[in-house]
Amino acid sequence: MVRYEIGIVETRNVIKTLLETFDYDFSDYALTSFKRRLEDIIINNGLKDADGLIYRLKNNKDYFEYFLREITPETTEMFRDPSLWRTLRDDIIPDITRTSGKLKFWVGNFDSGEDLYSLCITLNELGILNESTIYCSIISNVIEHKIKSGKIDFKQVETNEANYTRCNGDKNYSDYVTVNNGMATIDTKLIENVTFLKQNTLFNNCPNSVKLLLFRNQIIYYNQSLQDKIINNISNSLVAGGYLAIGAKETLDNTNTSNKFTVINDAEKVYKKKTG
């Protein structure tokens, strides 16, 4: 069985449609993973090829939000990289609480809920969830509904629980998640006060005075020029001295933005924005 493969020209045609019809610019997404996701969408939606996808996009406006969900990889694991979450809980967030001004946190990457709930659990266990202002970027309304429903893919529960245990938290993962008839649901009270920010691909909806910005495993989906552009854009949201955490195998060294930041923890890829 041979899997459908989309060509470069067809990929450009889809990108052109997305820009002209919806004003969403995917032209500087990293090509390999973007092509693969287009192929998945075409295969899973029973569309024959790129032209079939373009036709669906142009003729069914409701389909676009589903497309946005599908084109964005799910984050799939709560507390991915437990050592980062320990660093946030034990060092970074306590440092933030010693500064003046509002406690503002932003899950900037297009999360499917995992990073957001992990952050809220961490803030809850530090006793500062209620006084924190939390923003979460979303690219699709479909994802916002999913996050607000608290539903977790049952297959992920075991991974999430193992990660949580490796964080050496005060509680048990099961304190936050109920499992019933093969369905897992997380306590949605955790995200009661979260503000969701609908973004386009260029992040047109950024908050200000943020103290900690999670932007994990997002720039891996960009080419280098888009990495430069987006990191420059979102770093404007951070206060001087604010923290940025990116994915464990992402680096600002391959962008033109590394001079704006000091490396705080190289293994966990936590950076601090320089003053001025």
Partner 1 sequence: MYKAVIIGGSAGSFQVITKILSSLPQNFHLPVLLSLHRLKHVRSGFVEALSIKASIPVIEPYDKDQIKPGKAYLAPANYHMFVELGNKIALSTEEPVNHSRPSIDLSFTTAAQVYRDKLIGIILSGANKDGAYGLKKIKDYGGIAIVQDPEECQVKTMTESSLRLTKVDHIYRTNEIIRFLQNLKP
Q: Please give the residue ranges that form the binding site for partner 1 (CB under 8 A).
A: 3, 30-33, 36-37, 73-76, 80-83, 162-163, 166, 217, 219-221, 223-224, 227, 247-251, 253-254
* Number of residues written out for the chain: 276
- Smallest gap from Cβ 121 to partner 1, in A, equals 18
Residues 26, 36: Cα–Cα separation, whole Å:
14
Nearer Cβ to partner 1 (80/104): 80
Nearer Cβ to partner 1 (17/223): 223
Residue 151 tokens, joined: 């539903």
- For 252, other C-beta atoms within 10 Å of its C-beta total 21
- Smallest gap from Cβ 112 to partner 1, in A, equals 11
Nearer Cβ to partner 1 (96/214): 214
- Smallest gap from Cβ 259 to partner 1, in A, equals 18
Task: Calculate the CA 228 to chain-centre distance.
Answer: 17
Nearer Cβ to partner 1 (115/239): 115
Residues 101, 241: Cα–Cα separation, whole Å:
13
Nearer Cβ to partner 1 (126/157): 157
- Smallest gap from Cβ 213 to partner 1, in A, equals 18
Residue 192 tokens, joined: 């009661």
Task: Calculate the CA 19 to chain-centre distance.
Answer: 22
Residues 218, 234: Cα–Cα separation, whole Å:
12
